């Protein structure tokens, strides 16, 4: 590894999340404050390979902290998965003298950073930018707070029409491999049942629970489903419930990509700004190939190889709480 980082590249990779722009802003302005040059890399690893790289200054990140999405764009790159693609990316960085990278993204982005840093002499720092909150080594990820509040706001509105019509609503939220959005939004909106990938869903127990509520005339029921669970397809789950409980009037709502967009919450802006600052500080101090995270409200550093191997786990007590509060 090179001992001194003088030029930093920053990119966003994988799925976008609210707060990425705040993180970019923090990286750019902290770099400039410390006398470092900073370069924006468009479209993540694809931009590295295409040499879509430009120098940034303080004005490059003016008036972006409140914007969702990412001004640097994002994508997934199959070419970067090949040694040939990574060699091209490295050559482009060397040409510009960039000797440090900050990657804002999820575990897939970190895997790419880990491989790249092992193959070449480019130190990397990861910032956890994902609405799924599924990365080990941090209690918070950039974008989760905004996404879950978007889901809560939508479900609250759905509850109004549920109550007006005595309906059972199945709401599908994002979470291909992680059920945090479903769990948090479900508890916050009083869901009777929550289906997440981390726990095996007992469909008979779910049907029995809904049937019992129907018998005691509790006709307004909410089931929140994470898209990646065993029964993560809300329409398929709806078909099962309709067949088993024919008297239930059911409706399905899939929130989809609305959860990714929108102005980031105060929480996400603060997290992103904090992490962006410490990402640059880590490169200056020679703390390489780590993910900057927050544990117990303190900044911590997790080696990238550990961050990509482990998943943030949901405690089983949360599901017990769901059952008690929904009874």
The predicted-structure confidence for 205-260, as pLDDT tens digits, reads as follows 888 888 877 766 666 789 999 987 677 789 988 999 899 988 888 899 999 999 99
Residue 72 reports pLDDT greater than 50? yes
pLDDT digits (tens, 9 = 90+) for 281-310: 999 999 999 999 999 999 999 999 888 776
pLDDT digits (tens, 9 = 90+) for 39-59: 999 999 999 999 999 999 999
Nearest-angstrom CA–CA distance, 37 and 29: 10
Question: H helices then E strands: how many in the chain?
Answer: 11, 11
Task: Give the largest Cα separation in the chain, rounded.
Answer: 71
- Of residues 16, 52, 121, 132, which has the active-site annotation? 132
Residue 2 reports pLDDT greater than 70? no
pLDDT of residue 327: 63
pLDDT-derived band of residue 3, with 50, 70 and 90 as boundaries?
low
Nearest-angstrom CA–CA distance, 172 and 309: 27
Same fold, 7-143+264-309 and 146-260: yes
Whole-model pTM? 0.92
Nearest-angstrom CA–CA distance, 28 and 23: 9
pLDDT of residue 1: 46
pLDDT digits (tens, 9 = 90+) for 95-112: 999 999 999 999 889 999
Candidates 3.40.50.450, 3.30.70.260, 3.40.50.620, 2.60.200.20; CATH matching 7-143+264-309: 3.40.50.450
223 CA to centre of own chain: 22
Nearest-angstrom CA–CA distance, 327 and 323: 6
pLDDT of residue 181: 95
pLDDT of residue 219: 62
pLDDT of residue 291: 96
* Cβ burial, residue 307 (10 Å; 0-12/13-18/19+): buried
| List of E strands, 112-157 | 124-128
Residue 154 reports pLDDT greater than 70? yes
Sketch the domain layout of the chain as residue ranges. 7-143+264-309, 146-260
Q: Give catalytic status of residue 132 as yes or no.
A: yes
Residue 150 reports pLDDT greater than 90? yes
Candidates 3.40.50.460, 3.30.70.420, 3.40.1500.10, 3.40.50.2020; CATH matching 146-260: 3.40.50.460
Which of 173, 189, 196 minimizes the C-alpha distance to 221? Answer: 189
How many other CB atoms are found less than 10 A from the CB of residue 216? 7
């Amino acid at each position: 590894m090179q001992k001194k980082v003088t030029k930093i590249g920053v990119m966003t990779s994988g799925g976008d999340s609210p707060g990425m722009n705040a993180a970019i802003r923090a990286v750019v302005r902290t770099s400039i404050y410390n006398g470092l040059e900073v370069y924006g890399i468009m479209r993540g690893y694809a931009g590295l390979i295409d040499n879509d790289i430009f120098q940034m200054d303080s004005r490059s990140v003016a008036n972006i902290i409140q914007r969702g999405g990412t001004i640097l764009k994002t994508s997934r790159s199959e070419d970067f998965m090949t040694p040939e693609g990574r060699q091209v990316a490295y050559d482009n960085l060397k040409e510009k003298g960039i000797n440090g990278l900050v990657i804002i993204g999820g575990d897939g982005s970190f895997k790419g950073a880990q491989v790249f840093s092992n193959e070449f002499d480019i130190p990397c720092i990861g910032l956890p930018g994902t609405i799924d909150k599924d990365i080990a080594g941090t209690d918070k990820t950039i974008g989760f707070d905004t996404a879950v509040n978007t889901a809560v706001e939508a479900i609250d509105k759905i509850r109004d029409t549920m109550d007006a019509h005595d309906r059972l609503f199945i709401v599908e939220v994002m979470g291909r491999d992680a059920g945090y959005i479903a769990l948090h939004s479900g508890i916050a909106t009083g869901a009777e049942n929550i289906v997440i990938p981390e726990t095996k869903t007992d469909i008979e127990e779910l049907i029995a629970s809904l049937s019992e509520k129907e018998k005691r005339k509790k006709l307004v029921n909410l089931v929140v489903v994470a898209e990646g669970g065993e029964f993560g397809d809300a329409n398929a789950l709806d078909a099962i419930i309709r067949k088993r409980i024919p008297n239930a009037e059911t409706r399905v709502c899939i929130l989809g990509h609305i959860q990714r967009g929108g102005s980031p919450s105060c929480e996400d802006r603060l997290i992103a700004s904090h992490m962006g600052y410490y990402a640059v500080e880590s490169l200056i101090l020679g703390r390489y190939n780590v993910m900057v995270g927050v544990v117990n409200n303190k900044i911590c550093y997790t080696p990238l190889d550990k961050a990509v191997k482990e998943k943030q786990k949901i405690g089983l007590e949360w599901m017990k709480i769901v059952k008690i509060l929904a009874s």
